[in-house]
Each structure stands twice: as structure tokens, then as C-alpha cells.
Amino acid sequence: MNAFGRIIRAIKNRPSRQSVRALLAEMDLSRVHIGIIMDGNGRWATRRGLPRSAGHRAGTNNAKAIIEHAASLGVGYLTLFAFSTENWSRPDEEVSSLMSLFRETFSSYFDELVRSNIRVRVIGRREGLPADIQSLLTDVTEKTCHATGLVLTFALNYGGRAEIVDCVRSIAREVASQELAPEDIDERTISDHLYTAGIPDPDLIIRTSGELRLSNFLLWQGAYSEIVPFDTLWPDFRPSDLEQALAAFARRQRRYGGIGGSERGV
């Protein structure tokens, strides 16, 4: 099917805004955790004859719009994959423009998050980030730690495998100091030692730009997540797409390896 055919099919299959809104009204969104792999900034820019950095800037502005919309819908948890442990292998110029963009965004945007009652968390190897960015992140996580609205997690210098390595190291230290017996280690122990301890596993993972990979995002936590792919490039992903993703998730039957039934009440 050509691109035109795909667009027509997508429009035909897309439920109306009204029916999506009705479906969302029935859901307890405060219990829902959405993970997003924000992909396609580079292609968005290249298609417009712009440098990739312009795509990342457009992607960042879009992330702010999606955060605001998720908060206004009453979504409980939103985790954004902003920079992976693998992204360091990009050309130096792109890495440094991304770091400058994070620096600029975090300096100007964090007060807004504080005012919006959003609780910010950061997952990833924070120590690998530039020192000034680390201190901005520490500042905002401390300032928002008592916020009661959306729990917003930025995955920065994050990799699911690196997270599992760090988790195993921390469990091994507890075993070595005899705080923990090896036979007491279970799935809960692992979850409690991941960067995401205290945050429920993602219910759905959205990936934009038509790719169908997890790319090292929330590997343990995403074991039962519903993957909701979009062909749209990240800077073009709209608040209404977020609603469509939630509606698609609500229509899926989650079986957790069983034969049907429980849906965690969402």
C-alpha cells in the first residue's frame, strides 16, 4: 500500500474525538503509566531541509505540549525517553547540540513544572551527564518531590540493560553485606532495585515514526506493556494522538499470559 493509501486507512480506522473522549471518561487515568519513545526528530528536520538539531528543538517543544496534555487529562505517570546510553555514539556535534538543548530547556522549563504540580523524576546514569545538567535535575526533583499531580520521568542517559546491570550490582552489594539472602530474591526485589522503584510498570508504550522496536527502553518494566506504534514523526505527534493511544490501549484485552479477564481496573 502506498503512503496515500496508508493515510486513508489510518483516517478511516481512527475513532472520532467524541468516542475517544467518552472512552477516556470511563478510565481511571490516574493509574495509567504511559511510556513514550519519541522517535523521528532527525527525519522531521531532514524532510524540511533543516539541521537535525532543529528537529530536536521541535521535538522538545512537542514534548512540553504532550506533558501538559497528559497532566490535563489526569494521567498518573508519563515516562519520556529523551536520551539513551546508545545516543552518545551519534556525531559529537549532535550530542553537544542535544546537551545544549537539555540545558536550555531544563533551565527555562522547570519552574513551569513546579507550578503545574508535576512531580519530576529522572532515570538513567545521571553521573554520565554534564555536571550542570545533573545539578538542574537534582534541583527540580527535589523541588517537586511533594507534588501530587502527574509523575513525569525523564529517561536521560538511560538504557534498560544498563539499568538491569546497576540493579544486579546493588542487589549483589546487599547480599555481600548479608542484608539480603539470595533465596529471598524475587521479582519484587528486582523491581525495587530498578531506577523506577515505586513507579508502576508502563501500561502502554508509544513509539512514533513507524519503528517497532523497544530500543532498550524499560526492558524489565515493559514485559506486559501494550505497544502502540504511530507512523507520525515525534514533532508531529499531537495531543489528540495521545488520546487515540489511550483509547487503543483501553480496547486491548490484557491477559498477562493467562486467558483473559483482569485489566487492573483501568
Q: What's the rounded Cα separation, in Å, for the pair 175 and 185?
A: 10
Active-site residue, from 28, 87, 92, 186: 87
CB closer to ligand FPP out of 27 and 66: 66
- Collapsing DSSP to helix, strand or coil, 194 comes out as coil
User: 254 vs 14, 196, 220, 224, CA distance in Å?
Assistant: 21, 22, 17, 8
Contact between 45 and 1 (Cβ < 8 Å): no
CA distance 29 to 203: 11
The span of 16-24, 38-46, 243-251, 255-263 binding ligand FPP (CB under 6 A) equals: 38-46
196: left (phi over 0), alpha (psi -120 to 50) or beta: alpha
- By the rule CB under 6 A, 63 interacts with ligand FPP: yes
Residue 100 interacts with ligand FPP (CB under 6 A): yes or no? no
Given candidates 105, 141, 191, 232, which one binds ligand FPP under the rule CB under 6 A? 105
Footprint of ligand FPP on residues 194-253 (CB under 6 A)? 209
Nearer of residues 38 and 151 to ligand FPP, judged by Cβ:
38
Which one of 39, 201, 203, 241 is the catalytic residue? 39
For residue 113, give the nearest of 133, 138, 141, 134 by alpha carbon.
Answer: 141
Q: Which span sits near ligand FPP by CB under 6 A: 59-67, 118-126, 219-227, 249-257?
A: 59-67
For the chain, the distance separating the N- and C-terminal CA atoms, rounded to the nearest angstrom, is 35
Q: Give dist(CA 234, CA 38) in Å, integer.
A: 5
Q: Does 59 bind ligand FPP (CB under 6 A)?
A: yes
From 10-18, 56-64, 157-165, 194-202, give the range in contact with ligand FPP by CB under 6 A. Answer: 56-64
Provide, rounded to whole angstroms, the least separation between the CB of residue 206 and ligand FPP.
13
Q: Which residues are catalytic?
A: 39, 87
Residues that bind ligand FPP (CB under 6 A): 38-43, 56, 59-60, 63, 82-83, 87, 102, 105, 154, 209
